[in-house]
Structure 1
Amino acid sequence: MTSTVFDASAPAARTSSDFEAEVVVVERRDEADGVVGVELALPGGSDLPSWTPGAHIDVELPGGLTRQYSLCGDPADTSRWRIGVLREIDGRGGSRWIAEELTVGTSLRIRGPRNNFPLHPAARYVFVAGGIGITPLVPMVRAAEAAGADWVLHYGGRTRASMAFLGELAGYGDRVRVHPQDETGLLDLDAILGAPAEGTLVYCCGPTALLDVVAERCREWPAGSLHVERFTAAPAVVDGEDTGFEVVCERSGLTVAVPPELSILEAVENAGVNVLSSCTEGICGTCETPVLEGEPDHRDSLLTEDERAANDTMMICVSRCRGARLVLDL
């Protein structure tokens, strides 16, 4: 079967919501070794905002931490949101707190949803997940299946016991290919992606090493075939040393000097301009800002090549200026 998932006249795009609220944990359970599933709802039982596959939310945690987690439940269920959290032994404490301290009834402040990894129209999909990278792909395969699309999911992990949502995914039959490393070795990406396929989109989420190899295998695929979501920022390509420049905050009526040692985000916040931000690594999209004049030096891990070339938006937590002046909608 080769049908189109969504109306091609209205392609998916990055979306963001201004919704911010206190939610309560209504359920938590172990989804796999080291992976906790958490379901969130509004205290009064009102509906949460709608979302689309690939979306994530910002979750504020104790100690001033803010973390992004993909929504991995059913978009049709507006009564609650589900996230999956991997306990990272070497992390900065957020996932450890969720794994060890978070209980049913706990209140959390959230923002979103924001979608930087939208599911675009296609006749066929190849989904590739590594470990906790399965979370944004669970609602994607649900959408592909519901629309009657042709799709396959290749899901790799260290062991079967460490791989979340296997029971849920088992209902899709042989469309889901499970590859525990201790049983079958690493994902055979040459076999999975070796032959470019017209009309097929590849969606991948997982550790950096997986994303890098998938990107290499997709070099011969048609432009725009590969879509990835990163947990950590890709190394930025920097030409020479950073220099200072001016940022004109059009709405605030301020002109701010950005020295080499500060990001735009830091400089404008120091000047009293309030900007929403979260990851400060150029991967979450919270600080995305329209560019009115000037040429950004894009250093994020989010914008596509076409979006970078358009130069009409930028992530001010990491990106800089190629000239002496930027005018931003701040």
Structure 2
Amino acid sequence: MNQQKIPVQVSRVKQLSPNIKMFEFIAQDTQLSTFSAGSHVTVHMDEAGIRRAYSLISDPQQPQHYRISVLRDEQSKGGSAYMHENVAEGDLLHLSPADNFFPLVHDNTSKHILVAGGIGITPFLSYLYELEQADMEFELHYCFRDGANAAYVDELRERIGNRLHVYDNAQDQHLSVEQLVAQQGKNTHLYVCGPQPLIDAVIESGNALLGKERVHFENFGEVASGGSSFEVHFQRSGFSLEIGEDSSILQAIENDKRIDIECLCRNGVCGTCETTILEGEADHRDHYLDDEERAAQKTMMLCVSRAKGSRLVLDL
């Protein structure tokens, strides 16, 4: 895990919609690096003890600045609320280096279909630079609840024209995922980022009609981890915590503050919170381990997975 922290200054803040802000960062004492489309950075809000990953939306090959967009989530555990309420132009923050769990497949022989839901538009904003530069065939299908709260619609219309398809649910416009996927050729790559129901629908249709190797997805927020309560004992640290019905192991650890645990994605994709199981069995809910690894019950992802029984012992 790269523990480097890059000092940056907030060079610009722009209100894009009533609940979305754009933040621009410039480096303080070093240069920012180029990155690949779909990358994210972790923003360290040290004053609040919060770290959150956000997709980079700027040109991957023009790192004079990094830009992100942050949705003010009413259910926020602190990250988006802190960014919206406390971060202003001129402030100093730290970023972790860019990392990518959702890269674009560079294949000029294939069509690329991008499906975004709400703030899930963000990783695709950096995709567009690479798609256009490589002259790849693509379409962007952008769904949102209400056009008044959607970001980047006008800019996207101007930039990519008829390759943009928008679905404003408030105007009774809805995307039929099954129909969209059925219209595609077998050489299509399908990408989705947005709310879990949209991701699930695209994965189901995409896997059935195109095959798993051509379906690519990223969650943009913390996935709920509800279920029966259970106890977790941390063997090396020598204490236990009760994990409530509506809490993840990761959230319980962060609230307790005695163990420092890294997690970039908070939705079972990146693998950074993978932890060894010493006793008990996990109810695996991640997208990182394969079926064989899940059956082996040797490790688990603390951000989404739970216990099958009443107790787990972990190597922490």
TM-score with structure 1 length normalisation? 0.73
Aligned to 1:111: 96
Q: Which residue of 2 aligns with 1:53?
A: 37
> Which piece of structure 1 moves more, 161-170 or 279-288?
279-288
CA distance in 2, matches of 1:266, 1:216: 32
What is the match of residue 156 of structure 1?
143
Equivalent position of 1:21 in the other structure: 6
Q: CA deviation at 1:212?
A: 2.1
Paired residue for 2:212, among 201, 207, 223?
223
Structure 2 residues without counterparts, runs of 5 or longer = none
| Aligned residues of 2:222 and 2:265 also touching (Cα < 8 A) | no
1:130 aligns with 2:114: no
Quote the Cα distance in structure 1 between the aligned partners of 2:314 and 2:97. 26
**Correspondent of 1:199 among 182, 187, 191:** 187
Q: Residues 196 and 220 of structure 1 are in contact (CA less than 8 Å); yes or no, is this contact kept in structure 2?
A: no
Q: Distance in 2 between matches of 1:92 and 1:241?
A: 20
**Which whole-Å deviations, capped at 9, do the CAs of 1:71-126 have from their partners, x for residues lacking one?**
11111122211000011223223323322332100111222322111222331111
59 and 188 in structure 1: CA distance in 2 versus 1, 3 angstrom threshold = same
Partner of 2:272: 286
Secondary structure of 1:41 counterpart:
strand
2: CA distance between counterparts of 1:67 and 1:255? 25
| Contact 2:20/2:72, CA 8 A, preserved across alignment | yes
Structure 1 residue 67: deviation in Å? 1.6
The answer for the alignment partner of 2:152 in structure 1 is 165
The one of the two structures with greater contact order (alpha-carbon pairs below 8 A, sep at least 6) is 1
Cα contact 2:206–2:212 (8 A) shared by 1: no
Alignment size in residue pairs: 303
Question: Is residue 64 of structure 2 the alignment partner of residue 79 of structure 1?
Answer: yes
Which amino acid in the other structure matches residue 226 of structure 1?
A: V
Query: After superposition, what is the alpha-carbon deviation per residue over 1:44-77, rounded to whole angstroms, capped at 9, x for unaligned?
Result: 4x32133211111111224222221111111112
> Paired residue for 1:143, among 122, 125, 130?
130
DSSP 3-state at the match of 2:60: coil
Matched, 1:232 2:219: no
Of 38, 43, 53, which aligns to 1:68? 53
1:4 is aligned to: none
Alpha-carbon distance in structure 2 between the residues aligned to 1:85 and 1:241: 32
Aligned to 1:100: 85
- Write the distance in 2 (CA, Å) between the matches of 1:189 and 1:259: 41
- Tell me which residue corresponds to 1:5: none
Please identify which structure carries the higher helix content: 2
Do the aligned partners of residues 246 and 60 (structure 1) sit closer, same or farther apart at CA in structure 2, a change above 3 Å counting? Answer: closer
Moved more, 179-188 or 30-39: 179-188
> Are 1:282 and 1:299, in contact at CA under 8 Å, matched by a contact in 2?
no
Q: 1:313 to 1:54 in 2, by over 3 A?
A: farther
Q: Structure 1: 5+ residue runs without aligned partners?
A: 1-15, 248-253
Deviation of 1:278 (Å): 5.2
Rate the CA distance shift 1:208–1:76 in 2: closer, same or farther, 3 A: same
Contact 1:55/1:136 (CA < 8 Å) preserved in 2?
Answer: yes
| Residues 215-268 of structure 1 deviation map (CA, whole Å, 9 limit, x = unaligned) | 2322412222211111233769x9x99898998xxxxxx89999996969999x
Q: Secondary structure, in 3 states, of the residue corresponding to 2:130?
A: helix
Specify the SS of the correspondent of 2:62: coil
Q: TM-score, normalised by structure 2?
A: 0.76
Contact 1:156 1:179 in 2 (8 A): yes
